[in-house]
Amino acid sequence: MSDEFVKGLATLCGGLFGWMVFSGWYTTEGFESTQLIAEVPTDPAIYGNIALTLREALFWFAIFGAITFWVLIPAGRQARAALRDRRSSN
């Protein structure tokens, strides 16, 4: 179980680190104003569009990756073990 926790933590930290980098580049207005969550540029170039798309993808990768390793995989293993125990007791 500890390996799933570490994998979930790594995906969460890695994804959110990438999200913070791209947010710092593209959605920080200034040091004294809104940082990381300001409005996205209205007309970015092609690389800006790619970076903003990657920013969103990294955010969802972090969220769904952590949920997968912390909830779905352990729940699947518990369900499989319960099913195996149920079959062996009959």
Q: Where are the domains of the chain?
A: 2-89
* Ordered DSSP codes for the chain: -HHHHHHHHHHHHHHHHHHHHHHHHHS---TTS--SSSPPPSS--HHHHHHHHHHHHHHHHHHHHHHIIIIIHHHHHHHHHHHHHHHHH-
The pLDDT of residue 37: 80
pTM of the model: 0.82
pLDDT tens digit sequence for 19-74: 999 999 888 887 787 788 888 888 889 999 999 999 999 999 999 999 999 999 99
